[in-house]
Amino acid sequence: MMHLKETELCLGLPGGGEPDTLKVTGKRGYSQTVDLMLNLQTNDQSSSSTDLNDKKLQNSAKNNKDLIKPPAKAQVVGWPPVRNYRKNVMAQKSSNEETEKMVTAAPGGGSMAAFVKVSMDGAPYLRKVDLKLYDSYQQLSDALAKMFSSFTMGVYGSQGMIDFMNESKLMDLLNSSEYVPSYEDKDGDWMLVGDVPWQMFVDSCKRLRIMKGSDAIGLAPRAMEKCKNRC
């Protein structure tokens, strides 16, 4: 305070230069401008700013953090000091995230990943695969083979699709002791993997089950029926 008294001698401002009035003048101006900037109710703001500067109250109010914190957030111009470009980029990102969240409700529903559960009869645990990582049934077969090493998906036709019209071929496969993959589609039906084009499969598959060929026989006629209806 002594320093300021010295400097006060240089100038005579209107309203005098007594230390007490100085403090009062300063404070009044401050809370006025704060009200303008924060757009808050005058009463709340000026009372909390007094509280902030009252050490006694601070020390005794250790458990009452809310008393000391300013009231509900109103955006202050230029605070926090983040540049416009950055603000725009971050705002864009969060709106993208919103859209992504809505879209990932169903697996494979146009989002970046399509994770589905994979179970194998006799295996003690389930796995998950992201169907979007693969471009074809062959790639999926390779990946599943790695995961469940005792498993092979058999040999597909050149287009990777089971030739449902060739009944004998199909019956051979299903009579073997080899495993075949089946999947639950959007309608809740269990289908043999390979009956539809790859992308369609990715979009409709909800979960995978690798079962013994002999157990899958029950699926085939239904699969053939569905295929006939679709084609």
Contact 182, 211 (CB under 8 A): yes
CB of 86 to another protein, least distance (A): 7
CB of 98 to another protein, least distance (A): 13
Interior angle at CA 229, CA 225 and CA 231, nearest 5:
115
Burial 88-98 (b: 16+ CB within 10 A, else e): eeeeeeeeeee
Nearer to another protein, 44 or 178 (CB): 44
Nearer to another protein, 64 or 159 (CB): 64
Contact 36, 59 (CB under 8 A): no
CB of 133 to another protein, least distance (A): 6
CB of 170 to another protein, least distance (A): 31
| Integer Cα distance of 122 and 227 in angstroms | 29
- Under the rule (CB under 8 A), what is the footprint of another protein? 1, 3-4, 7-8, 10-11, 13-15, 17, 22-23, 25-27, 29-30, 32-34, 36-37, 52-53, 55, 58-59, 61-62, 65, 68-70, 73, 75-87, 89-90, 93-94, 96, 112, 132-133
Interior angle at CA 45, CA 39 and CA 46, nearest 5:
130
